[in-house]
Structure 1
Amino acid sequence: MRIRPATPADLPLLQDIERAAGEPFRTLGMTEIADDEPPALELLERFRKAGHAWIAEAESEGDEAEGDGDAGRPVAYLIGEPLDDAFHIEQVSVHPDAAHRGVGRTLIAYAADRARDQGLTGLTLTTFTEVPWNAPYYERIGFRPLTDPELTSGLRKIQAAESAHGLDRWPRVCMYRAMT
């Protein structure tokens, strides 16, 4: 799989990936999440211009789910930004057709390498605690939940924004992974 910076032409495709990645939330009764609009093109462009938007492309050969005609097409993306000495993963989304192949893990590792290059100490994210492909997945790849006293001012602001958006209707957690 190839990871590369997002281009302006990729941004509408990232929105499509986000919509598709939201569909599995319906099976958990989280229709509001499934129906939530993807990040606006302007927001995606802000991350892209900052150099903090990366995509994973479909395999070029032997990728049965994607087919050779889709080689090089974005199948997942990650956006984030430095926050309080860490790199905060704002969103990582994998198209369901590319799920369970390590694509998200590879994107996170790529972001960690870029964060390390910038002298940041770790990765942070916020996520749902009871969604199998959210907090339990992140714990399996080395993230740990942060306790309230460990929350930075930046993470508290993110929590407040997520609450204002109604995401706190379901249990959520801030998580951290130190650089290794």
Structure 2
Amino acid sequence: MQTQDSLSVTFRFAALREAELIRAIEYDAAQRFADIDMVGIASARPMDVDFVRRKIRASEIVIAVDRDAHCVGFVMFVQMAAGFYIEELDVLRAWAGRRIGAALMERVAGLARTAGAQRLVLSTFREVPWNAPYYRRLGFSVIADANLDERLRALRAAHVARGLDESKRVFMRREVGVGPA
């Protein structure tokens, strides 16, 4: 799944040797939250390396690699009943604003279409500019709380258990259609 676009960035599935790089990107991207007084997120430890390795083995992380072979961003996802759930999307702060996140999301949308999935789903902060407002620009819309299925309600409970303030978060979805990417 190696593709390239006009950004001179290549997209492919992550390799096991890149697990620590993925964690470093997650940590770097989280530092943006310190600027908006969400220090708890900025100071949180990155994902467990064994978890990242499991996701890599399952082909559930797509990375963006620059022309010098440096990993600059990633998207992590899992297939659910009718769609793909986006677990994490991060781009190094130095590479922000170049539409790499949007391109990573399109890669996952293509994978979802190929798998016959109908939608992408994610959970994000409602007011953080690079969260829900950003995803709206990518075609996502908010899922009303009354329309959350059992799996999404379980994800919300897991977020609360991790200390996330779910009153500031929303679930969003984007239909991907069917057919080739």
**TM-score, normalised relative to structure 2:** 0.90
Aligned ranges for residues 9-88 of structure 1 at < 5 Å? 9-58=17-66, 60=67, 71-88=68-85
- Offset at residue 170 of structure 1 (A): 5.8
Match of 2:95 among 86, 98, 105: 98
Aligned partners of 1:38, 1:155: CA distance in 2, in Å? 23
Which is worse superposed, 43-52 or 130-139?
43-52
Aligned partners of 1:170, 1:32: CA distance in 2, in Å? 16
Gaps of 5+ in 1: 61-70
Identical residues among aligned pairs (%): 34
Q: 2:64·2:71 contact (CA, 8 Å) conserved in 1? A: yes
Counterpart amino acid of residue 30 in structure 1 = M
Runs of 4+ in 1 over 2 A off after TM superposition: none
Gaps of 5+ in 2: 1-8
1:162 aligns with 2:159: yes
Aligned ranges for residues 68-147 of structure 1 at < 5 Å? 71-147=68-144
Aligned partners of 1:177, 1:48: CA distance in 2, in Å? 24
- Offset at residue 84 of structure 1 (A): 2.7
The RMSD of aligned alpha carbons is 1.1
Q: 1:84·1:154 contact (CA, 8 Å) conserved in 2? A: no
Counterpart amino acid of residue 163 in structure 1 = V
Aligned partners of 2:149, 2:55: CA distance in 1, in Å? 21
| Residues 38-75 of structure 1, C-alpha deviations (whole Å, 9 max, x = no match) | 111111112111111110012x2xxxxxxxxxx11100
Counterpart amino acid of residue 107 in structure 1 = L
Number of aligned positions between the proteins: 169
**TM-score, normalised relative to structure 1:** 0.91
Aligned partners of 1:40, 1:162: CA distance in 2, in Å? 16
